[in-house]
Amino acid sequence: MVYHHAVASDRRLRKFIRQWRRRYPFPVDWVDDRANKQCRRSEKQWLVQFDRVTTLKRRQTLSLIFWKFGGSAHLMEQAVKGIDSPSGWGHARRQIKKALVAPNATQALDCLAGPEEGISGWGPEVASVVLSACRPDTFTVVHDRSLRTLKALELFSPSVEGQFDRSDWWPYLRECKRLAQLCGRSLREVDQALWAAADDAPSLPKPPKRVTRKPPAQK
C-alpha cells in the first residue's frame, strides 16, 4: 500500500534520510557517527566486487545472504538450502545471469523468486539483495527493518500485513526511488537510513539522538 499523505513533509524527509543514514549500521547510543562512517566505508569497498557483474560465484551469493540476513535464521536457512546442492546452484547461477539482464524490475524478480523458474526457497527479500548489490542504481533491498520504517512514515506498507509478495515489489521500489530523488541520495543511502531508523519506528519521523564521544575524565 502506498499512502497518499506522508507523516513528514518533503523537507523533513530530506532531513530524516540525512540524519538517520549517519546511524547506519549500528544505530545504538554507544556507537558514534565516526565509527559508523568507517563501517559504511568498509561496506562500500566490499560491495564494489558485485557492481555491474554479469554473474555470481556461489561463495559471493552466500556472502550477500549473510550480509543482510545473518540475523534471520529462517530466511537464511531457506535461501542457503536453495543453492546447497550442485543442481540447485546450477539452476540458481543461470537464473542470476538472467535476472541481471532482465528488461524490467518485475522480470528480474521473477527470475530469482518467481513461482515457475525462481530459485527454491528464495522470496523477494533474498532476491532483492542480489539485485541491489549487482545493480545498485536500479534496485534496493527489501528488509523487514526498511518496511517498518516506511510504514511508520506512512509512505508504504505491504498489501498483506506482515507479508511482502511479488505484487509489492514495484510499488516498494518506486517509493524508495522517489525518496532517493527527493533527497538527492542513492538508493543504497536511502536503504541505510530506513534500516537504521527501524527501532524507533513508532515515533518517527523524529531525528536520532545525537551521539558524541565524551572526553576522558581528568585524574
pLDDT (tens, 9 = 90+) of the chain, 219 residues, equals: 665 555 678 999 999 999 999 999 999 988 999 999 999 999 999 999 999 999 999 999 999 999 998 888 888 999 999 999 999 999 999 999 999 999 999 999 999 999 999 999 999 999 999 999 999 999 999 999 999 999 999 999 999 888 898 999 999 999 999 999 999 999 999 999 999 999 998 888 877 876 655 555 554
d(CA 188, CA 212) in angstroms, rounded, equals 25
DSSP-derived secondary structure letter, 8: S
pTM: 0.90
Q: Is the dihedral of CA 114, 115, 117, 121 positive or negative?
A: positive
If you count DSSP H runs as helices and E runs as strands, how many of each does the chain have, helices first? 10, 0
CA nearest 26: which of 17, 34, 36, 18?
36
Domain ranges of the chain: 1-37+140-209, 52-135
